[in-house]
Structure 1
């Protein structure tokens, strides 16, 4: 209990004092996770909508792969990205290993199946009569897709929140491909691990409190977007 209180005090002190080291860690965390979430959503939402609206040979295999990806261990994804961008890997010439770019790629791979899977479920749950009604009114394919996504917006929002939660709290993959370099690739989760290993539990707890506060703030903001509405 004393450690928790000490960590809370230290977290407030670090934020109020605008400690440059802490601000750098927070900025890197938000930059990496925010960028990864945007790319994962741009890839996952269209794929999820496509799978939820269409039937084709081999769809069951693709859906099974997607569900497998939703439960794939993040550290294994980190290992895959590490090998890909290592000096002997196929993309080693880019020299992206131990940079935020490699961290973003790892987080995109982690979040993408979650966003696509939840979007597919949300879109697949839309009343089929709506699609028939839109077709009878002469709506184009694009208009139908947009209308369905609007109807399924709560499920799509849940998919984005799930993706965000999975990557903002991830530590194994980002540490493996990012290297936890101070001032460059250190994020809140890896900073927590580092300070805990050093025995600086008060500082580790303070980073944990900051991480929880950011996660709560972002999730609260996303779940209360203007015009989000509620399904009756």
Structure 2
């Protein structure tokens, strides 16, 4: 009933989650897709080290990220004067750090799977280096889109960073996952269950949208 009736508290919590998740995913894509693409098509010394580093970063615990960003944004931290701690901005910063390696690693994998003959053929036909790179990017677009969806799914279901950097303040930084944890601790399962259903619905909707776009593009 809470979901059907569009409870105000539920809607606000969902809004905070979407705001933080969308902005962090957008920033991670702006940083991660070009970096992953450059590493994927590049042939330079230390390339394999870069790939290994970002693959390792996939397993970076959220608690470590939370502590790192907390130490930087706390009053005694380097950026403490910004006053971002326990705000949505702090949560976005932490989540960008969390999912940027996902975008980079998945983009590298997507680009690396493209046959090198695409690039050589484009160059043979008179394409510039930039145009040849765009050919590879076009061929890898579906896998890169999947990387973006994976990053969004990771960040919208995240709880550790949101709790540590946002403080779970009602009306300001309470997300779906932190609210679910709080309601569970209180023994109140109605709101927690409603939020869980909304979270699943959002994840399903995003994946259905990806499938629709991929299907339309391949026609």
Global fold match (TM > 0.5) = yes
Match of 1:170 in 2: 158
The answer to whether the 8 Å contact 2:119/2:133 transfers is: no
Query: Matches of residues 1-232 of structure 1 in structure 2 within 5 Å?
Result: 13-225=1-213, 227-229=216-218
Cα distance in 2 for partners of 1:115, 1:32 equals 17
The number of residues matched between the two structures is 218
In structure 1, stretches of 5+ residues that fail to align are 1-12
Cα distance in 1 for partners of 2:56, 2:190 equals 38
SS at match of 2:169: coil
Q: Compared with structure 1, are the counterparts of its residues 19 and 202 closer, same or farther at alpha carbon in structure 2 (3 Å cutoff)?
A: closer
Deviation sequence 1:84-139 (CA, Å, 0-9, x none): 11111111111100000111111111111111101101101111111001111221
| 1:60 Cα deviation from its structure 2 partner | 2.1
Taking structure 2 as the reference length, the TM-score comes to 0.95
Once the two structures are overlaid, the 10-residue window that deviates more, 218-227 or 145-154, is 218-227
In structure 2, stretches of 5+ residues that fail to align are none
Once the two structures are overlaid, the 10-residue window that deviates more, 216-225 or 175-184, is 216-225
Taking structure 1 as the reference length, the TM-score comes to 0.90
| 1:162 Cα deviation from its structure 2 partner | 1.4
| 1:140 Cα deviation from its structure 2 partner | 2.1
The answer to whether the 8 Å contact 1:180/1:187 transfers is: yes
